[in-house]
Structure 1
Amino acid sequence: MRLRNKPWAKDKIEQYPQYIVPNPEMYKESWKDAFELNQPLHIEIGTGKGRFITEMARANPHINYLGIELYESVIVSALDRLIEAELPNVKLLNVNANNLHTYFSKNDVDRVYLNFSDPWPKIRHEKRRLTYKSFLKLYEEILVDKGEIHFKTDNQGLFEFSLKSFSEYGLLLTFLSLDLHKSDFEGNIMTEYEEKFSNKGNRIYRCEVKYQS
């Protein structure tokens, strides 16, 4: 994905600390203090322009949401959504997901969402895939016991790799769809990429897995 440079993005991010948490390491073990209400916390890694995380927060006011996005030029679009939505239960982090342990401790997070992650199709890049075993270990270190990962993609190769990775790690598969938009799954909230790929006729794959301890 080619990113358009937005030299003003950093300044805008700093103007809205109520939406993009400026020092997330301060909330490690106490993320309830970052929100108005003490509620379960769900995070989306690679939140992009923020459609999914914002609409999830709107649909589920009893849950707190954090959208994690590395690129400043992308997260400002998610910021615009949050400013317009004015929801108390959703915020953003402009950080690298490789460093999740810096910002979260065990039991801080109840669920992880991975939506249309970069497939990194070359074998030599498989360690960069967000469903690689090192990332699964990282999620386990911040999730509650029996915490969940919900995963969506249009990339068949990444989906097959991910199912194998989940299985080898010992995760329990609790939901599987090989064609989400033709299934009876209810309550699906689409990301920008999901709408784009679905309109092209691409099949959408989805699964839910759970840690067993």
Structure 2
Amino acid sequence: MRLRNKPWALDKIKEHEGIMISTPEQYRGVWKKEVFKNDNPIHIEIGMGKGTFLNEMARQHPDINFIGIEKYSSVIVSALELSLEYDQPNLRLLNIDALTLPEIFNKGEISQIYLNFSDPWPKNRHAKRRLSHSSFLNLYKKVLVDNGEIHMKTDNQGLFEFSLESFSEYGLLLQNISLDLHKSGIVGNVMTEYEEKFSRKGNRIYRVEAKYIK
């Protein structure tokens, strides 16, 4: 994906620290108490794009706290603008790299992770960059509850097959596997902007839920 530079993005982000958390590491271990001021579970989306999915999830599920993670300021600023329209008290945004997750959250602070239409990194030499690689699964385990889950959607068959193998080899329990999500009859699916675009083109959408087990 080619990113268009937005030199004004950082200034925009700094203007809205109520939604954007500029120093997230200070809340490690106290996200529910200090940021959301409730004891509801926290779900995060890694690589949230323009924020369509997470903003709608926050609207539909006020009893869950949501955090969107995006490392590119030129992308997350679009999610910020949409979040200002939705004005959901149970949503926050972080402009960070997923590699820093254990520095931001304690073990057990996160209940669920969404990986939606992540970069497939199709070349074999780039496999470790895929968000479903075992190195990332190790990171997720450090912040998830003991039986935490990863919910993944993609239109890339190669990435999906890689992820199923990676999840299985790691020992995760695979559930609700769909090889064609929009023909599966699933209820309550919230689409991302990429999902809407790809499904209009007739692309098959793949989905899986992977659960950590002891």
Which runs of structure 1 show a deviation greater than 6 angstroms over 4 or more consecutive aligned residues? none
Q: Percent identity?
A: 62
| Partner residue in 2 for 1:62 | 63
- CA drift of 1:38 comes to 2.3
- 1:118 and 2:122 aligned: no
Aligned-residue RMSD, C-alpha: 0.6
- CA drift of 1:79 comes to 0.4
- CA drift of 1:36 comes to 3.7
Q: Which amino acid aligns with 1:162?
A: S
- 1:153 and 2:166 aligned: no
- 1:130 and 2:131 aligned: yes
Residues paired across the two proteins, number:
213
CA distance in 2, matches of 1:195, 1:91: 23
3-state SS of the aligned residue for 1:19? Answer: coil
Q: What pairs up with 1:64-213 in 2 under 5 angstroms?
A: 64-213=65-214
What per-residue deviation string (whole Å, max 9, x for no partner) do you get for residues 84-134 of structure 1? 111100010000011111101100100000000000000000000000000
What per-residue deviation string (whole Å, max 9, x for no partner) do you get for residues 171-198 of structure 1? 0012100000001111000000011111
Unaligned runs of 5+ in 1: none
Q: What pairs up with 1:13-28 in 2 under 5 angstroms?
A: 13-28=13-28
Unaligned runs of 5+ in 2: none
- 1:29 and 2:29 aligned: yes
Q: Which amino acid aligns with 1:62?
A: D
Q: Which amino acid aligns with 1:158?
A: L
- Whether the aligned pair in 2 keeps the contact of 1:36 and 1:89 (CA below 8 Å) is no
- 1:6 and 2:40 aligned: no
3-state SS of the aligned residue for 1:163? Answer: helix
Q: Which amino acid aligns with 1:159?
A: F
- Whether the aligned pair in 2 keeps the contact of 1:115 and 1:152 (CA below 8 Å) is yes
3-state SS of the aligned residue for 2:137? Answer: helix
The TM-score normalised by the length of structure 1 is 0.99
